[in-house]
């Protein structure tokens, strides 16, 4: 892969991973402790289960990323969907941070030469781009679930993490005035700051 393309792809991927992490954590900050563990029906996962599953996946996929299969023999995926009664919010967050640490420690040092390699996941060879894309889509899917559940629990008290309703034109004008960025994490911050400003004005 061309050096400039591979490095641009890596930078954008890292930015997207950071954005999904920030998005989830903005939603998590709005939850009460007990709401982490609520399953809204028998087939749904709680926020805590989703976080535990994501962290377990991250630790398996990104530990020794270039030199071992992404599905580690030490991983027990089924247990990721079980939360012990004594588990606390702090413990879930510690595990969550451990998982994300694996993501960034694996990705940040990648070089141009690494993009010519393949890595196995469950015995199937993946290019580096395929392996990264596989996890980006997986994490985005589950982060969306976390946001949905947090919004459900907060209801009318939900603090928007996206462009507020009926404010799209105003936000576009804001971007034109402030020359918006192409980095995913910066775009998310712009939206978040705009939503907070709208909320602040509505309270005045």
Instruction: Encode pLDDT of 109-143 as tens digits.
Output: 999 999 999 999 999 999 999 999 999 999 999 99
More confident of the two residues 198 and 67: 67
Instruction: Encode pLDDT of 27-61 as tens digits.
Output: 999 999 999 999 999 999 999 999 999 999 999 99
User: What is the CATH number assigned to the segment(s) 3-155?
Assistant: 1.20.120.450
b/e per residue, 50-88, with b = 16+ CB within 10 A? bbbbbbbbbbbbbbebeeeebeeeebeeeebeebeeeee
Instruction: Write down the domain spans for the chain.
Output: 3-155, 160-204
Q: Looking at 4-18, 58-72, 82-96, 169-183, which range is the least confident one?
A: 169-183
Is the pLDDT reported for residue 144 higher than 60? yes
């Amino acid at each position: 892969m061309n050096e400039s393309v591979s490095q641009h792809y890596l930078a954008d991927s890292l930015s997207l991973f950071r954005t999904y992490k920030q998005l989830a954590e903005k939603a998590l900050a709005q939850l009460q402790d007990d709401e982490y563990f609520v399953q809204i029906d028998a087939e749904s996962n709680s926020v805590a289960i989703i976080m535990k599953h994501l962290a377990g996946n991250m630790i398996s996929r990104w530990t020794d990323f270039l030199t071992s299969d992404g599905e580690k023999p030490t991983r027990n995926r089924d247990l990721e969907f079980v939360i012990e009664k004594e588990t606390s919010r702090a413990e879930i967050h510690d595990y969550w941070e451990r998982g994300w640490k694996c993501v960034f420690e694996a990705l940040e040092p990648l070089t141009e030469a690494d993009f010519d390699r393949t890595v196995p996941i469950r015995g199937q060879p993946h290019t580096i781009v395929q392996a990264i894309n596989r996890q980006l889509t997986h994490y985005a899917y589950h982060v969306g679930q976390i946001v949905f559940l947090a919004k459900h629990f907060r209801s009318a008290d939900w603090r928007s993490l996206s462009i507020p309703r009926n404010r799209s034109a105003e936000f576009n004008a804001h971007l034109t005035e402030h020359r918006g960025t192409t980095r995913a994490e910066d775009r998310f911050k712009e939206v978040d700051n705009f939503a907070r400003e709208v909320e602040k004005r509505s309270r005045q």
